[in-house]
């Protein structure tokens, strides 16, 4: 059989979430060249032979947004998007990653203008299929905060229950019942009160909490 | 900047699980050519430009094992494996899928010998990094049966609680406490008793159950 194999282009795209002013935001860059010149996009780039997708991720984030992968507090492979028509230049398959962070300030770099965190509920039109990639990542995050402690990656080390609830509300996009939320969350035994209190203006100081464990904890209905 | 982009080879590998004689088994094929000629491997193949990973999956499964994608009762993208050294011919990135089925008999095809379901706890040496891909899929399945009804895809439509428990035991690789398992599982309200009973030899007939909903249901600790 005579058959010449032609590989699709491989790319790597990153969905980096951060909470800013009680809103879930995602990191975008403004494209400096065609296709989609001048449009907003996820920071992404080519993944060449010899580069693992994680190598590509590190390089892309740093060169396009000035952010080091090690500054992310949680990162995981999200999904590989492969529809043939997603790039007008030809078939490009994109391995995407989701990252969570806090207090990160992207930097202008030589290769992009305006890397910036934009509220997810108020996204501009995005290049390629990036709107659906953001959507997929948002759904993954919404599901993951229901079966893990992953919200730790978006919060300060010490936080009040109000801050915790507000993080969940930002992720879900709507308000939650305070009593229900506290009862359910505290029953998971993921967090403990710490001695220090947080004083907010003239109010009674609020109890601060911290996660019991560093890193990801998965909560499942174990049958074992 | 002068820079010629060379894409890695893109491949597609499938981890297809099935229960046979109360054991979790995975579909393997014997490689007919180099590299790893004569060794067992996951059914996989090239993913060319113009082919989505799902197109590639359909084609690979059918040509290498005679199984149609539509015969799988559950399928999802598993992970994209990308270590540079995984293929001795050069950098190949593999998008992998996990499929679950029951009562499937793979067929000899022109391109492979002996497609066969082999017990996961007794795997032969596998080509490439396929042992770690199977391992990753097995862990995904173990975790997924704890937060969803996905075990439906491995069971007959009507099953006894003994068959259900035995499926979980095959997936976890060890025995479970009968009383605990039944209590926990029934509390999830995923299954209901049906009128027909199953007569097993001279024993008292066993109650049959069915899942309440067709398709995947995710169980999470919703805060909403």
**Structure confidence by residue, pLDDT tens digits, A86-109:** 888 889 999 999 999 999 999 887
List chain A residues with CB under 8 Å of B223. 145-146, 168, 172, 176, 180-181, 184-185
Q: Does B212 touch chain A (CB under 8 A)?
A: no
Was domain B151-211 assigned CATH 1.10.10.10? yes
pLDDT of residue A222: 76
CB atoms within 10 A of CB A74: 19
Average pLDDT over residues A155-167: 96
Q: What is the DSSP letter of B122?
A: G
pLDDT of A21 > 90? The answer is yes
Are B145 and B188 in contact by the 8 Å Cβ rule? The answer is: no
Q: Does B223 touch chain A (CB under 8 A)?
A: yes
Q: Does A189 touch chain B (CB under 8 A)?
A: no
Cα–Cα distances in Å, from B23 out to A23, A25, B117?
A: 48, 46, 10
pLDDT of residue B214: 85
List chain A residues with CB under 8 Å of B168. 223
pLDDT of residue B83: 81
Band (A1; pLDDT cuts 50, 70, 90)? very low
Residue ranges of chain B with per-residue pLDDT less than 70: 1-3, 200, 224
Q: What are residue A146's DSSP bridge partners?
A: none
Q: What is the dihedral of CA A166, A172, A175, A179, to 10 degrees?
A: -70
pLDDT of residue B87: 83
**B43: closest CA among B59, B25, B29?**
B29
How is domain A9-133 classified at the CATH fold level? Nucleoside Triphosphate Pyrophosphohydrolase (3.90.79)
Q: Does A178 touch chain B (CB under 8 A)?
A: no
pLDDT of residue B1: 44
List chain B residues with CB under 8 Å of A221. 146-147, 184, 188, 219
Domain boundaries, chain A: 9-133, 150-211
Say whether A14 sits in a helix, a strand or coil: strand
Are B19 and B170 in contact by the 8 Å Cβ rule? The answer is: yes
pLDDT of A2 > 60? The answer is no
Q: How many CB pairs under 8 A join A and B?
A: 121
Are A133 and A96 in contact by the 8 Å Cβ rule? The answer is: yes
pLDDT of residue A224: 66
How is domain B9-132 classified at the CATH fold level? Nucleoside Triphosphate Pyrophosphohydrolase (3.90.79)
Overall size of chain B counted in residues: 224
Are B197 and B208 in contact by the 8 Å Cβ rule? The answer is: yes
Q: For strand A9-20 and strand A92-101, is the pairing parallel, antiparallel, or unpaired? A: parallel
3-state SS, A101-161, equals: ECCCCCCCECCEEEEEEEEHHHCCCECCCHHHHHHHHHHHHHHHHHHECHHHHHCCCCECH
DSSP A32-85: -SSSSTTSEE-SEEE--TT--HHHHHHHHHHHHH---GGG-SEEEEEEEE--GG
Q: What is the DSSP letter of B8?
A: P
Q: What is the DSSP letter of B109?
A: B
Q: What is the DSSP letter of B154?
A: G
CA distance A202 to chain B (A): 30
**A43: closest CA among A28, A58, A57?**
A28
Are A149 and A213 in contact by the 8 Å Cβ rule? The answer is: yes
pLDDT of residue B224: 66
Choosing among A3, A5, A6, A7, which should be mutated to test the B contact, i.e. which has the most B CBs within 10 A?
A7
CB atoms within 10 A of CB B115: 22
CATH architecture entry for A150-211: Orthogonal Bundle (1.10)
**Structure confidence by residue, pLDDT tens digits, B197-207:** 777 677 778 89
pLDDT of A151 > 70? The answer is yes
């Amino acid at each position: 059989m005579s058959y010449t194999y032609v590989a699709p282009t491989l790319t790597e795209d990153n969905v980096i979430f951060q909470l800013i002013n009680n809103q879930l935001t995602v990191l975008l860059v403004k494209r400096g060249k065609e296709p989609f010149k001048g449009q907003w996009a996820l920071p992404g780039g080519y993944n060449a032979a010899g580069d693992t997708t994680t190598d590509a991720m590190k390089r892309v984030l740093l060169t396009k947004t000035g952010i080091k992968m090690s500054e992310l507090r949680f990162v995981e492979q999200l999904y590989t998007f492969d529809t043939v028509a997603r790039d007008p230049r030809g078939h490009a398959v994109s391995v995407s990653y989701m990252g969570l962070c806090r207090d990160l300030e992207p930097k202008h770099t030589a290769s992009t203008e305006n890397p910036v965190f934009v509220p997810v509920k108020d996204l501009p039109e995005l290049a390629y299929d990036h709107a659906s990639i953001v959507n997929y990542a948002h759904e993954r995050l919404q599901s993951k905060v229901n079966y893990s402690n992953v919200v730790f990656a978006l919060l300060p080390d010490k936080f009040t229950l109000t801050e915790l609830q507000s993080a969940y509300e930002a992720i879900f996009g709507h308000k939650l019942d305070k009593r229900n939320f506290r009862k359910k969350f505290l029953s998971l035994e993921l967090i403990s009160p710490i001695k220090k209190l947080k004083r907010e203006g003239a109010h009674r100081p609020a109890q601060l909490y911290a996660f019991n464990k560093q890193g990801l904890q998965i909560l499942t209905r174990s049958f074992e």
